[in-house]
Amino acid sequence: MTYDFIIVGAGSAGCVLANRLSADPGKRVLLLEAGPRDWNPLIHMPAGIARLANNRRVNWGYRTEPEAQLQGRTLWWPRGKTLGGSSAINAMCYIRGVAGDYDRWAQATGDARWSWSQVLPWFLRSEDNSRGASALHGAGGLLGVSDLRYHNELSDAFIDGATSAGFERNGDFNGAQQAGFGLYQVTQRGGRRCSTAVAYLRPARERANLEVRTGAAVANVVIRAGRAVGVQLLGSRTTIEAGEVILAGGAVNTPQLLMLSGVGPADHLREHGIAVAADHSEVGANLQDHLDICTLDGSTRKITYDHLNELAAGWRFLRHRDGPGSSNVAEAGGFVRSRLATDERCDLQFHFVPALLDDHGRHRLPGHGYTVHACYLHPHSRGQLRLRSADPAQPIAIHAHYLGDAEGHDLARMIEAARLSREILDQPAFAPYRGAPVFPEQRLASDADYAAFIRRKAETIYHPAGTCRMGNDASAPLDSELRLRGVDGLRVVDASVMPSLPSGNTNAPVIMIAERASALILNETSPTADRS
């Protein structure tokens, strides 16, 4: 059997593609996912993310290579490995970024279709916002977006602390302006997580022309005479044939699969005995991520999520779809244009968690407390991915190259982010709760002290992107319609296509990219009225 489309990866982008492309009953679509179905009930209870961190069945659990600027540490990179991908295990914060992000994409690609005015309709098409429709929000789309049904009082203290530190309140980070502090809207519907598997794949599963296979890891794309003709699964030599192959494995898995298929830096591929189908030096290059620094304080009041009665929270969630079980944990946050900003956009983002989170929460700390995450949004540092071998089962080597820019641009902004975190936590709003500092263990004064702390403790905030970028220059692997240059019948649709990181969380932009890509593939010129 030959399919019209094979989609590799049933994550944030793949589920969108599967829905939109199979809406045409004349097209046969095969969706392949290496992980299992999203049966785990902790996926669907928002607060269940705390228990999914170490679950290797639904999480690839990658690690970087030793990071030279972070004391040689290897950082843990969680990525979703189930239907819904990372949208099934993330903190559900719905953030689009700002107009300037997409106008820069339009400039990088030479294609106005990636400008803010032209991507906004695709954001709106996807969105079913509980606040209703407006010029900047959609209602009736497939992706549930809503206000939190429950949040901890410490999240209010964080917002109050930010305003007393001189920042504005903001009730809608996707509204007229991004700057300010408030509660995040989340990808939930009725208090439950609304992953792309729930939002997009579930409504399409009964279509006769859509086939979904889980536990189906792809070993390589089969390329003949300059055209992608199908894929081979791990452990099989049979080619599953398609008119077009679409890679949606994410910023880590997609470049690895391309290189295993002979698409990448020619010399590097030959080192591993892989025949070169297309020489692309930037496949696996241009790796960007948001580096994050956490400031932790103890709490004198036992109201945090550190020692939550999980049984009671789970029972309340099952009965009423609210309470702590419906929390995304990273309830509040904000965006700041710092004194070091070099353009019109906010350059710092904050996430507040009413719990002590060290090493992504995988190691529980004693006592009660709260955490401020802070990241720099527009890093100059660029990393790369490189094969360890030609074995598809071997994880790729991740060289994130954090803080690696020669001019020290990124480190200066991270220091600013950490200083502002401390300033907010020192405000009177936290006086009723404030205990001893946890990380850093004592008050810091100099930039050198902050730099040392960042090098010792900074981690990813889970936004890798850019490893198979679209652009209008010859070195860009993809054109502006996400087609791979030099290989017909092959596209990439995931975070790896981003020329640069957006100003915020990456899940909503990836969903938009998949909506936009579906239209490009089907030759649609604008969002259709039918959102089913």
The residues annotated as belonging to the active site are 463
Q: Cα torsion at 494, 498, 504, 507 (round to 10°)? A: -10
CA atoms within 13 A on the CB side of 373: 30
Q: Which helix (H) or strand (E) holds 44?
A: helix 41-44
CA torsion through residues 254, 257, 262, 264, sign = positive
d(Cα 482, Cα 523) in Å, to the nearest integer?
13
Tokens matching residue 293: 């620094």
Asked if 494 and 13 touch (Cβ cutoff 8 Å), the reply is yes
Three-state DSSP state, 444: coil
Asked if 257 and 394 touch (Cβ cutoff 8 Å), the reply is no
Give the DSSP letter string of 52-83.
HTT-TTTB--EEBPPBGGGTTBPPEE--B-ST
d(Cα 25, Cα 282) in Å, to the nearest integer?
37
Asked if 334 and 349 touch (Cβ cutoff 8 Å), the reply is yes
d(Cα 251, Cα 64) in Å, to the nearest integer?
13
Cβ atoms < 10 Å from Cβ of 507:
28
Angle at 379 between CA 374 and CA 381, to 5 degrees: 125
Tokens matching residue 362: 């995988």
Tokens matching residue 509: 């932009």
Nearest CA-CA partner of 209 in 489, 83, 21: 21
Q: What is the DSSP letter of 178?
A: -
d(Cα 239, Cα 456) in Å, to the nearest integer?
47
d(Cα 284, Cα 77) in Å, to the nearest integer?
16
Asked if 517 and 491 touch (Cβ cutoff 8 Å), the reply is yes
Asked if 270 and 276 touch (Cβ cutoff 8 Å), the reply is yes
Nearest CA-CA partner of 32 in 49, 12, 18: 18
Tokens matching residue 292: 């994050």
Tokens matching residue 88: 């099934």
Three-state DSSP state, 429: helix
Give the DSSP letter string of 465-503.
B-TT-B-SSTT-SB-TT-BBTTSBTEEE-SGGG-SS--S
- At 187, the amino acid letter reads T
Asked if 250 and 496 touch (Cβ cutoff 8 Å), the reply is yes
Residue in the block written with tokens 């950082």 = 75
d(Cα 413, Cα 503) in Å, to the nearest integer?
14
